[in-house]
Structure formats: C-alpha cells, structure tokens
C-alpha cells in the first residue's frame, strides 16, 4: 500500500482513521461479493434464496459495488431496496437512510453527497409521473440506471463515472 501525503488541514490521526475506515469498508465489501459468487456458482443454488453479496472488482468502481450491496442487503430494505421490477431502487426515508445506512458504507452520512455521486455515475431520479403515478410519499426517492439491475452483477462494469462537465450538462438538460 502506497502512503499518501496528509493534507495540511487534516490531522495525521484523522487521516489514519479515514484510511482504516476505507480499508475496513473495502474488506467487508470484498467478503460480501465473494460469498455471493460462491452462491452463484454452486449447482442448483437459488439466487433469490441467497443474500446477495458484493465484491469490489477492478472492473467497476467501489461506489457502484457499495451501492449494489446496500440495495441488495435485506437488512436495509426498510430504507433502501429494489423496485418490484428490479430495474431501479428506492430510498423510502432519506434522512434515516443518511443517518443509519450511509455511514456503514461510506465516510459520510450526507444525503446530498450521495445523490451527487449517483448523478456522477449516470443514475437518474425517477419522477412520480414518469413511473406511472403518484407515490403518495414525499420522502420516497427512486433512481434508475440502464446497467444497474437486480441479479446482473456483470453489468456493473458498464457504469462509469462521468466528469463534472458531463454531469452539469445532463443536469441542465433534465426536466425539473
């Protein structure tokens, strides 16, 4: 592991804590996906009966892997889960999600930062009318990406981070 210089505004202890937290999250994510891959390859194993697991692979970004793990984790279904079709995911209570779930996967618990990251990777918020009606719950947020689908781990490698100019252009072009 290559040591990176600590910025002058960050204490050495804080930088060490951040590095430890990041390493722990990566190790957890790696272990989760390895277990999912074992379940996937075992003969006759029902994926729907197995808890989806996650592995940070070199073929796709850590953010995408962690996002898939959050959505697939049955323990977080009250706050983040797949849509019935499995082609999008929903966050039912952003405040509680940011407080309880985000810090378990990332170094922050900031809902706006999470949404910004989703936009950077090409995810789109699904409006109530575009999804076929009014949800009735002002707290419900739904996001969709063409390659982010339940059970299709191999497609995650197609989700790429876009540059800030592409994100700004996409946000300007999207209807409000």
Task: Tell me the per-residue pLDDT of 114-144, one tens digit each, with 9 for 90 and over.
Answer: 999 999 999 999 975 544 445 555 688 999 9
> What are the structure tokens assigned to 167, written together?
């994100």
pLDDT at 138: 60
Show the CA angle centred on residue 62, arms to residues 127 and 46, nearest 5°: 80
Please state, in angstroms and as integers, the Cα–Cα distance from residue 104 to each residue in 28, 38, 44, 132, following that order.
Answer: 10, 24, 32, 33
pLDDT at 163: 78
Across the chain, what does the average pLDDT equal? 72
Mean pLDDT of 30-52: 44
Residue 161 — left, alpha, or beta (φ > 0 → left; ψ -120 to 50 → alpha)? beta
| Contact of 68 with 53, CB cutoff 8 Å | no
- For the chain, percent of residues with pLDDT exceeding 70: 53
Residue 122 to residue 99: CA distance in whole angstroms:
24
Mean pLDDT of 144-164: 92
Measured in whole angstroms, the distance separating CA 62 from the mean position of its chain's CA atoms is: 9
Does residue 44 surpass a pLDDT of 50? no
Does residue 53 surpass a pLDDT of 60? no
Does residue 78 surpass a pLDDT of 90? yes
Does residue 57 surpass a pLDDT of 90? no
Task: Tell me the per-residue pLDDT of 80-89, one tens digit each, with 9 for 90 and over.
Answer: 999 999 999 9
Instruction: Answer with the residue of higher pLDDT: 93 or 39.
Output: 93
Residue 174 to residue 165: CA distance in whole angstroms:
14
Does residue 29 surpass a pLDDT of 50? no
């Amino acid at each position: 592991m290559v040591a990176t210089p600590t910025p002058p505004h960050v204490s050495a202890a804080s930088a060490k804590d951040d590095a430890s937290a990041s390493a722990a999250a990566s190790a957890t994510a790696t272990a989760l996906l390895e277990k999912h891959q074992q379940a996937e390859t075992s003969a006759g194993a029902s994926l729907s009966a197995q808890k989806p697991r996650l592995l940070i692979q070199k073929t796709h970004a850590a953010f995408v892997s962690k996002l898939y793990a959050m959505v697939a984790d049955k323990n977080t279904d009250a706050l983040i889960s797949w849509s019935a079709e499995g082609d999008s995911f929903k966050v039912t209570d952003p405040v509680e999600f940011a407080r309880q779930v985000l810090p378990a996967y990332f170094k922050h618990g900031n809902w706006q930062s999470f949404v910004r990251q989703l936009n950077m990777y090409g995810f789109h918020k699904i409006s109530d009318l575009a999804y076929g009606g009014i949800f009735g719950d002002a707290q419900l947020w739904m996001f969709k990406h063409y390659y982010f689908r339940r059970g299709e781990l191999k497609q995650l490698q197609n989700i790429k981070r876009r540059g800030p100019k592409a994100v700004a252009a996409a946000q300007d072009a999207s209807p409000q």
